[in-house]
Structure 1
Amino acid sequence: MSVYLVKLVELISINIESDQSFLHIKLTTEKDVELLWKIDDFTAENLKALTVFGEHHKYRLSYYSSWDSTKNQYISYLTRTFLDQSEKIYFACSEAYVKGLKAIKTDEVNSQILLPSIATSLSIEPEKKKHKKSLQSFAWVSLVFMSVLTIVLVANSLLSMAETNENSKELKKNKTQEIEIPIASLKGKTDSFQKTSIPEQESALPLVELSENVNFSIQEGNVALTFDDGPSKFTKEITDILKEHDVGGTFFFIGKNVEKHHDSIQYVKFNGYSIGSHSMHHHNFTNLSVEQQEYELLHTNKLIENITQEKITLFRPPYGSKNEITIELMDKTNTKMVLWNADTEDWKSQNANEIVNYVVNSKTSGSIILLHESQAVIEALPRIIEHLKNQGLHIVSLN
């Protein structure tokens, strides 16, 4: 049995009927293959709201998925492209959709999933290309009435139904290919799909609630990794490292960077990490008036909240500089100021080994560790996490 090496999944259209929904997608492998994917209405509606099909944009589905423990739902994303521009758009999806992505990615095959007539009709005989159109029509119409939840690959060369049945024995001898990818629907009424399970590896991240208006440290036995000056081109990779090691993290974003990297903010949020403000322009707050400080804080909060749809309650003043005006602003806006008691000074060295050495030689229990988004931090982070875990510490997000 041949296996297709799926590289890209292009979303061509979304069809939502009264009792069923389908995605029409194209797999780019050694040659393009189109298929229909029957999915749940919840995922289909969410995708429909984000897409406008036409000559200007193309959409590519990502194999990425994660569990948002705060909203109790799965998250995936699609990439919208136009010329040389691309944008990642996140959406809520079902467990069935996540399983479908995995099936497509791994080319899982299960001949018991297809109805016999459909499975037989998918046999491929290259020399009989003249029957392609008639059988493609059959495959599309038949899928509408299928009670079995499947994806059917529409190959380039297909036999008609009558000739397929007559030559089924001969086709078996010739070891003709049959290709299918099973998909389980969230709306299926069998017991096995009535409940949505949360995978163990996607459990809630460790979190510490801050109790003070101004915070330099946290409870002993815990340690917080914090990342300043994003969002940036490094944000997603830092997030991936934290997620890979199943540890917490807190990001402090600068307002002027938000528009350029708003997809990175979505990525951090949907992976469950904490987000705070680091001001609009990274000015020293002790040199600013009341009005200027309010603008630096509140305008940045608004930009981030428009993306995350959640209130920003954490703030880190640039350079750690603050005055009475800043403290009063924290009280007025019910915001927690997050400072630090472990400064790696990574921005000076830009050297992964020096960053790691600082952490290794510091008292880390109860620490809030200051880091900045950079390539050096990306290189140092796995070793830092390994060291902190070896110390028996909980690496937490802040809230």
Structure 2
Amino acid sequence: MARTKTIAMIELSSIEQTGTGFRMEVIITRNQEPALCIIAIDEFTYNEIIALHPLTAGRVRMSLYAKWDPFRNRHYSSLIKMDERFGETLYFACAESYAVQLEQLRLSDSLPEKPAAVAEKVEEAPQQRKSVLGRVRATFIGKLALRLAMVVCLFFLFASRTEDGMFSNHADALSPASMDTVLDENTAKSLPTEAGPVIEETIPVEVKKEETPKLGYKVLEADADKYTYSVPKGYVALTFDDGPSEYTEQIVDILKEYDIAATFLFVGLNVKHDPEAAAYAVDNGMAVGNHSWAHNNLTKSTDEENTNSIARVNELIESESADEDTVVNLFRPPYGAINDDVKAVVKREQMKVLMWNRDPVDWKAKTKRQILSYFKQKPPSGGIYVMHEKKLTVEALPEIIQYLKSKQLKFVIFK
């Protein structure tokens, strides 16, 4: 039986710097009950999130997972900016303290304590959401108006003391050159430029557009009426069977390092044994499918047994994801064994059958070179590779990706 979800989703409502530190207002939904909570965060994580301009439009879901990156020697988490058309996953570095907070939120059986006044705002929160940049603009306008008023007063005071009177040289007095001599240095720094929105001096923000990840892969809709054996020419798909395992998170991290994704076909018993690894794949943008409950030949089982097997796996994977909208609809039969009876069960469960046309037989390879040699012997374009979560596969994966990228192929995941 799948464990009960305690927190299904965390949505960012606002993020700001206060007089005492930095904080996020988030809507935490657990068992379909939303509550608005305030979470204190560190300055480093705050600046990393702000650099992504998270609340400029739409809704923002925060990942409940943070992962240690041994290559960059720091933690990373992610958020998803959503509108009515699509969602964009953005990654940011975070402090260890933030990673610990996410872990506590994800594993907690109850929502954080919150004042009653905060709880009352839950229903209004989505309509009242404002970005930090919006608040900064308002602050800027107020300060600018005050400084301009001071400039006008200084001008009239100066003009009234001249021998020719205050109107004798009014054209020169209001010229841009004279304004520059009156405005102080801080005011000049605060003026808007064409480079982007104004940022208040007390919030150090460095916008690094090049750090905003762009998807290095495409999502392909699998055919519901026939088995999917291949992808179009110029494309390639990596798939991993029989997980989750002790290697799942390593595989996901390598894929993310190269800005690509893959499709994982999970076995129900393994998901039950290691639900965190399954959730890690889903919540980091990987496509996840069903590979039966016990990896048995379904053509030798009854329709009832097969229906139960497929349904249990779907329910378990979906219950472990932090995203309550996660739906599993990909199915790969163990050993590729499928007949009309199994096909009918899969169709009733509204699943799509994903097969393969490239098999490096990595599960019995003696060295990673054996795996790599397969990729270089067969044309990779249009290939769906079936691989497994094995130690040698993990070791070979970076070179596999590099080789496929050298062929100018576009990576594909399925839905």
Give the TM-score band, short-chain normalised.
0.5 to 0.7
Specify the alignment match of 1:223 in structure 2.
236
Q: How does 1:25-104 map to 2 (within 5 A)?
A: 37-42=21-26, 73-77=61-65, 101=94
Specify the alignment match of 2:221 in structure 1.
209
Q: How does 1:147-162 map to 2 (within 5 A)?
A: none
Q: CA deviation at 1:266?
A: 2.1
Match of 1:335 among 327, 332, 351: 351
For residues 40-97 of structure 1, give each alpha carbon's deviation from its aligned partner in whole angstroms, at most 9, with x where no partner exists: 2127x5799899xxxxxxxx9x97x9999x9854425369xxxxxxxxxx89699xx9
| Structure 2 counterpart SS, 1:386 | helix
CA distance in structure 2 between the partners assigned to 1:100 and 1:245 by the alignment: 17
For residues 102-149 of structure 1, give each alpha carbon's deviation from its aligned partner in whole angstroms, at most 9, with x where no partner exists: 6999xxxxxxxxxxxxxxxxxxxxxxxxxxxxxxxxxxxxxxxxxxxx
Q: CA deviation at 1:22?
A: 9.6
- What are the ranges of 5 or more consecutive residues in structure 1 without an aligned counterpart? 1-18, 24-35, 52-59, 80-89, 106-183
Q: Is the 8 A contact 2:65 2:280 kept in 1?
A: no
Structure 2-normalised TM-score?
Answer: 0.55
Q: CA deviation at 1:328?
A: 1.1
Distance 1:99 1:294, change over 3 A: closer
CA distance in structure 2 between the partners assigned to 1:218 and 1:41 by the alignment: 43
| Structure 1 counterpart SS, 2:236 | strand
Q: CA deviation at 1:200?
A: 5.3
| Structure 1 counterpart SS, 2:255 | helix
Match of 1:305 among 292, 295, 318: 318
Which residue type is aligned with residue 365 of structure 1? S
Cα RMSD, aligned residues only? 4.5
Which residue type is aligned with residue 213 of structure 2? E
CA distance in structure 1 between the partners assigned to 2:21 and 2:29 by the alignment: 15
Distance 1:98 1:390, change over 3 A: closer
Asked if 1:386 is matched to 2:402, the reply is: yes
Distance 1:339 1:192, change over 3 A: farther
> Which is higher, the Rg of structure 1 or of structure 2?
2
Distance 1:77 1:210, change over 3 A: closer
Specify the alignment match of 1:319 in structure 2.
335
Q: How does 1:231-242 map to 2 (within 5 A)?
A: 231-242=244-255
Asked if 1:276 is matched to 2:269, the reply is: no
- What are the ranges of 5 or more consecutive residues in structure 2 without an aligned counterpart? 1-13, 68-76, 82-89, 99-130, 138-196, 201-206
Distance 1:91 1:271, change over 3 A: closer
Q: CA deviation at 1:261?
A: 1.9
Distance 1:192 1:249, change over 3 A: farther
Q: Is the 8 A contact 1:46 1:91 kept in 2?
A: no
| Structure 2 counterpart SS, 1:340 | coil
Specify the alignment match of 2:386 in structure 1.
370
CA distance in structure 2 between the partners assigned to 1:247 and 1:360 by the alignment: 20
| Structure 2 counterpart SS, 1:214 | coil
More strand by share: 1
Identity of aligned residues (%): 29
Distance 1:386 1:92, change over 3 A: closer
Q: CA deviation at 1:253?
A: 0.6
For residues 129-179 of structure 1, give each alpha carbon's deviation from its aligned partner in whole angstroms, at most 9, with x where no partner exists: xxxxxxxxxxxxxxxxxxxxxxxxxxxxxxxxxxxxxxxxxxxxxxxxxxx
Q: Is the 8 A contact 2:60 2:79 kept in 1?
A: no
Distance 1:298 1:350, change over 3 A: farther
CA distance in structure 2 between the partners assigned to 1:186 and 1:261 by the alignment: 41
CA distance in structure 1 between the partners assigned to 2:260 and 2:405 by the alignment: 10
Q: CA deviation at 1:199?
A: 6.4
Distance 1:381 1:42, change over 3 A: same
Which residue type is aligned with residue 218 of structure 2? P
Distance 1:236 1:363, change over 3 A: same
Q: CA deviation at 1:334?
A: 2.1
Count of residues in Structure 1 that have an aligned counterpart in Structure 2? 273
For residues 277-310 of structure 1, give each alpha carbon's deviation from its aligned partner in whole angstroms, at most 9, with x where no partner exists: 1110000111111111111111101101112331
Asked if 1:291 is matched to 2:304, the reply is: yes
Distance 1:377 1:187, change over 3 A: farther
Q: CA deviation at 1:208?
A: 1.6
Distance 1:303 1:104, change over 3 A: closer
Q: How does 1:135-174 map to 2 (within 5 A)?
A: none
Q: Is the 8 A contact 1:46 1:93 kept in 2?
A: no
Specify the alignment match of 2:273 in structure 1.
260
Specify the alignment match of 1:11 in structure 2.
none
Distance 1:337 1:93, change over 3 A: closer
Specify the alignment match of 2:168 in structure 1.
none
User: Which aligned segments of 4 or more residues in structure 1 are displaced greater than 2 angstroms?
Assistant: 19-23, 45-51, 65-68, 70-79, 90-94, 97-105, 184-194, 196-205
Q: Is the 8 A contact 2:26 2:36 kept in 1?
A: no
| Structure 2 counterpart SS, 1:215 | coil
Which residue type is aligned with residue 391 of structure 1? K
Q: Is the 8 A contact 2:16 2:132 kept in 1?
A: no
